[in-house]
Amino acid sequence: MNDTSPVIEIKNLHKAFGELEVLKGVDITARRGDVVSLIGSSGSGKSTLLRCCNLLEDSQQGEILFKGEPVAWKGTGSHRHPGDAKQVLRIRTNLAMVFQQFNLWAHMTILQNVMEAPVTVLGRDKAEVEASARRYLEQVGIGDKCDAYPAQLSGGQQQRAAIARALCMEPEALLFDEPTSALDPELEQEVIRVIKDLAAEGRTMIIVTHDMKMAADISSHVVFLHHGKIEEEGSAKDVFGSPSSERLKGFLSATQAA
């Protein structure tokens, strides 16, 4: 089976915080197996776009579709909200998010952190969830840390635990928001390796990243956001190898010089 149907489709999305227009008509599609990287300067709207995808943020105009199913809105403009709580839960649990700051529960062991949402939110069988939690922790290379608490782990290990926690939801896609930017350079690499393995597995992912090398290595599609609009997009080869917009050229030379 070679299913390349869309998992996430964003069409003409507009989002403002009060008077501040942050997304000004953005279109993005992630098909099954796609790795879409979102790049752009700080403040360009990358995190907001990612958070709109899994309905952590409301948006005022445009469509969001999950596996072809449009979000059912109630109201319009600044009064627009998702109207179907079950649909919101389905979308949110299927688009598992990995944050820059890991967001693990400090009072729970690593295993408990990974098991928490599948058991309490999805109501899955505890023994089965434990077995898959251990498997995912093994996969990200910290199978020996099940009984440790987050504070006993390095940043790189905590982020890998957060990735295992996302995987344990058995989501349709993973959304990463700058997953390596809180880490020291040597710890960044261990997280990048895990993300590369997930890409090679054919996982559907949208990744906000400042790491142009990783984006170049794993992306099937790269999107450059500038002031809430897509300034340029294309294959990693084209976006990094022969950028056409002056803004993208400037952004790339600034990040490569850094």
User: In angstroms, what is the minimal distance from the CB of 124 to Mg ion?
Assistant: 31
The nearer residue to Mg ion, 73 or 99, going by C-beta atoms, is 99
The nearer residue to Mg ion, 101 or 152, going by C-beta atoms, is 101
Q: Please list the alpha-helical segments (H only) found in 168-207.
A: 185-200
User: In angstroms, what is the minimal distance from the CB of 257 to Mg ion?
Assistant: 21
Contact of residue 157 among ligand ADP, Mg ion, none (CB under 5-8 Å per partner type): none
The nearer residue to ligand ADP, 19 or 201, going by C-beta atoms, is 19
The nearer residue to Mg ion, 140 or 205, going by C-beta atoms, is 205
Contact of residue 48 among Mg ion, ligand ADP, none (CB under 5-8 Å per partner type): ligand ADP
Q: Which of residues 3-62 bind ligand ADP (CB under 6 A)?
A: 17, 20, 22, 40, 42-48
Structure tokens at 153: 């782990």
For residue 168, CA distances in Å to 8, 124, 165, 183 come to 20, 11, 5, 23
DSSP 8-state code for residue 78: G
Listed residue (90, 47, 86) closest to 66, CA to CA: 90
DSSP 8-state code for residue 57: S
User: In angstroms, what is the minimal distance from the CB of 51 to ligand ADP?
Assistant: 8
**1: how many CB neighbours lie within 10 A of its CB?**
3
Q: Which of residues 136-165 bind ligand ADP (CB under 6 A)?
A: none
CA of residue 189 relative to chain centroid, distance: 18
Strands 81-82 and 73-74, sheet pairing: antiparallel
d(CA 114, CA 146): 9
Contact positions toward Mg ion, by CB under 5 A?
47
User: In angstroms, what is the minimal distance from the CB of 138 to Mg ion?
Assistant: 31
The nearer residue to Mg ion, 137 or 222, going by C-beta atoms, is 222
User: In angstroms, what is the minimal distance from the CB of 207 to ligand ADP?
Assistant: 12
- Number of residues this chain uses to bind ligand ADP (CB under 6 A): 11
Q: Specify which residues 30 forms β-bridges with.
A: 8
User: Which residue matches tokens 């300067």?
Assistant: 41
Structure tokens at 256: 């490569």
Residues that bind ligand ADP (CB under 6 A): 17, 20, 22, 40, 42-48
